[in-house]
Amino acid sequence: MINKLHITAAIKNERTILKDCFFTQPFRVANISEDRKDPRLYLMVMSSSPGLLNEDKYAIDINVETGAELMLQSQAYQRVFKMKGSARIQQQINVGNNASLYYVPHPVVPHNGSTLLAESEFFMKEGSRLVFADILTCGRKHSGELFQYASFTNRIALHFEDRLIYKDNIVLEPASGNTYGMGQFEGYTHQAGFLIADMTRKMEDTFFDSVHDILCTEQSISFGITRAHDHLLAGRILANGGEQLFQLLKQVESFAGNYWKPRPENKRILMIPENPVL
């Protein structure tokens, strides 16, 4: 079954609005913006389905037009049920000139015997910004179902001004080898990948160091981050809990959002003596 979701965010009167939205079952979209002083748009993607089933295909199209800022959230963990065939998630995300997108969805939980192919393709323009993450669990860990899914494939491509600057392809087939072993999960059960792109300037050392410091505060994880491009920071984290990774990456997302906030220009202040001589 093909399930479609289309979202377009645009700027109007210095605020980001939901310009266009179309979805089929089981998707729903809710505007969860609360602070009227915040010019950003907060949306939550919800689903009435318990998870991805055999032959399901999610076709997701997200567009953030020039100058807009979209904070996109998911509703809950994405379950992938046991299936004879496979399921697929295909995302195309466009971030326009001087626009921003923040998207850290909940972890994916692949059940015993499930197969999922996930593809995300990003197209960014001059001045655009992006925070994106994906989190994969080992399965239903508390039910003793560790690494019993058939296959998980995650492909990511990021384009800047129609030029490919980053590509990642992860293929995990637990039955084919030691998933816990060296070069794979190395004793951990969960993994996350994230991208932070700032097309307004080269990635600053202070920003890079701050993200590194945030990750260093978390216990019982292993991680690596790198400048994959002058404007792009990429990272991967290994841990033993999906919620741990989700909350950690939400901290990174929040830091980036605050770091990129426009800073007020310096204003001259006229100092008047307490007892002026007239």
Q: Per-residue confidence at 269, pLDDT binned at 50, 70, 90?
A: very low
Q: Per-residue confidence at 146, pLDDT binned at 50, 70, 90?
A: very high
Instruction: Give the mean pLDDT of 243-260.
Output: 96
DSSP 3-state of 253: helix
Q: CA 225 to CA 212: how far, in whole Å?
A: 8
Residue bearing the bigger pLDDT, 262 or 160: 160
Per-chain mean pLDDT for the chain: 92
Q: Comparing 1-5, 15-19, 78-82, 250-254, which segment has the lowest mean pLDDT? A: 1-5
DSSP 3-state of 144: coil
For β-strands 129-136 and 100-103, DSSP reports them as: parallel
Q: Per-residue confidence at 263, pLDDT binned at 50, 70, 90?
A: low
Side-chain-side CA neighbours of residue 149 (13 Å):
27
Q: What is the DSSP secondary structure assignment for residue 107, as one 8-state letter? A: P
pLDDT confidence of residue 177:
80
Cis peptide, bond prior to residue 174, ω within 30 of zero: no
Q: Per-residue confidence at 72, pLDDT binned at 50, 70, 90?
A: very high
Strand order, beta sheet including 115-124 = 15-23, 2-12, 57-64, 87-95, 115-124, 151-160, 163-172
Rg of the chain, C-alpha, whole Å: 21
Residue bearing the bigger pLDDT, 98 or 274: 98
Q: 277 pLDDT exceeds 60?
A: no
Q: Per-residue confidence at 17, pLDDT binned at 50, 70, 90?
A: very high
pLDDT confidence of residue 104:
98
Locate tokens 């990429």: which residue? 234
Q: pLDDT (tens digit, 9 = 90+) per residue, 104-120?
A: 999 999 999 999 999 99
Instruction: Give the mean pLDDT of 217-244.
Output: 96
Residue bearing the bigger pLDDT, 1 or 185: 185
For β-strands 115-124 and 151-160, DSSP reports them as: parallel
C-alpha distances in Å from residue 236, one per residue of 63, 90, 145, 186: 26, 21, 23, 13
Q: 267 pLDDT exceeds 50?
A: no
pLDDT confidence of residue 135:
98
Q: CA 193 to CA 134: how far, in whole Å?
A: 6
Q: 14 pLDDT exceeds 90?
A: yes
The model's pTM is 0.91
Q: pLDDT (tens digit, 9 = 90+) per residue, 167-207?
A: 999 999 999 887 777 778 889 999 999 999 999 999 999 99
Could you give the percent of the chain with pLDDT greater than 70?
94
Q: CA 87 to CA 74: how far, in whole Å?
A: 19
Q: CA 240 to CA 219: how far, in whole Å?
A: 11
Q: CA 261 to CA 257: how far, in whole Å?
A: 6
C-alpha distances in Å from residue 14, one per residue of 7, 9, 30, 160, 228: 19, 13, 21, 25, 33
Q: 147 pLDDT exceeds 70?
A: yes
Residue bearing the bigger pLDDT, 177 or 147: 147
The residues, any chain, with a CB within 8 Å of residue 177's CB and separated by 6 or more, are 184
C-alpha distances in Å from residue 147, one per residue of 121, 178, 237, 243: 27, 10, 17, 18
